[in-house]
Structure 1
Amino acid sequence: MTSSSPWLACHPLGEYITPCNLVKQSTQWYPEHHNSIIIVSPASSLVLDGSQNPTQLQEYTGSPLQLWRFERTETGNFLIKNVGSQRYLQVQGDGKNFNGIVTESKNGEPNQQWQYNHPDQTIVNPATGRVLDIPRLNFTAGTKIMLYDKNAGTNQQFSLQFK
């Protein structure tokens, strides 16, 4: 079964960003191929940017620090690798609400493992059950991403776009 993300945009530099086709395997959704992916907040059109720790939202510039690759793990989850820094998306701290999301060297531990829930467009840390969250609906460039309990808000939705 294949499904496409509904978001399509043209960024300010004139490049087109196309929807990411996802394939459902068992209960997980995975990007259909290994291209670089832009992780986009559909509510703001801002993207996940790995140029600073903690990870934050920024305007799309085409920087490799705004591109990510998904690497499947033996457990069926995936690691999210930043193309520019070659570091991995990771929950900072003990996995409680308000913990920051950073990029660190690969360790493959549960704090670096993720699932993409396509129906509600959330990126879930299965070890905690919490999701990536844009705090207080602050859809502005520079907002730091955190981990928080899933609440079905637009501040927890992220679409995946092939680059």
Structure 2
Amino acid sequence: MACIQSGGIYALINVKAQNSCLDLSGGDNYSIIGYGYHSGPNQAWMFERQYNGNYLIRSIGSGLYLNIEGEPRDGARVVAKPTQFQWHIEDEPSFQQAIRLFVPGTNQNVDLSDHGNATPGTPVTLWGKWNGNNQLWRIESVGGVR
């Protein structure tokens, strides 16, 4: 699984918008946006493997979990909440160290909106799986295992 270690801390950088990182917005501490990588704690995520093989993904900066707003559907916002939410992670064979993050049991995966718009603040949403590189996230270790 792209060398993900349970308890490992990673940044998730969009494959299409190459400097755009999965970022917990400092503006509302709720929205997940694409933002230029700066190695802040709001861009560091701890992956915690669960017994079923899925992962909890928790913000190092806030302790909130990567979650969704409402039901899994095209355009649903990816947000941070205090409630745990499991993600199914799949390696993307066409890119080294790239993954897709799915809502388990669906084809809905984490997508940098507007076809991977690199403008800081672009919303991160769910969208059905397709060939767009804006749905691929390169993982980079940014800390040890906790």
**What TM-score do you get using the length of structure 1 for normalisation?**
0.74
> Does residue 92 of structure 1 match 2:65?
no
Query: For 1:129 and 1:157, how far apart are their aligned partners in 2?
Result: 14
Identical counterparts, % of pairs: 26
The list of structure 1 runs, each at least 4 consecutive aligned residues, that deviate by more than 6 angstroms after superposition, is none
* Contact persistence 2:6–2:48 (CA under 8 A): no
Unaligned runs of at least 5 residues, structure 2: 94-98
Query: For 2:23 and 2:69, how far apart are their aligned partners in 1?
Result: 16
* Contact persistence 2:92–2:136 (CA under 8 A): no
Q: Please identify the structure whose Cα radius of gyration is greater.
A: 1
Which of the numbers 12, 18, 22 marks the counterpart of 1:48? 22
The alpha carbon displacement at 1:119 in A equals 2.2
Q: CA RMSD in A?
A: 1.7
* 3-state secondary structure, aligned to 2:123: coil
Query: For 1:127 and 1:102, how far apart are their aligned partners in 2?
Result: 19
Which of the numbers 34, 40, 46 marks the counterpart of 1:69? 46
**What TM-score do you get using the length of structure 2 for normalisation?**
0.82
Residues 2-151 of structure 1: matches in 2 within 5 Å? 22=3, 31-32=4-5, 34-44=7-17, 45-51=19-25, 52-107=29-84, 112-120=85-93, 121-137=99-115, 138-151=117-130
Match in the other structure for 2:132: 153
Match in the other structure for 2:96: none
Q: Which has the higher contact order (CA 8 A, sep 6+)?
A: 2
Identify, as 1 or 2, the structure richer in strand.
Answer: 2
The alpha carbon displacement at 1:33 in A equals 5.5
Match in the other structure for 1:16: none
Unaligned runs of at least 5 residues, structure 1: 4-20, 23-30
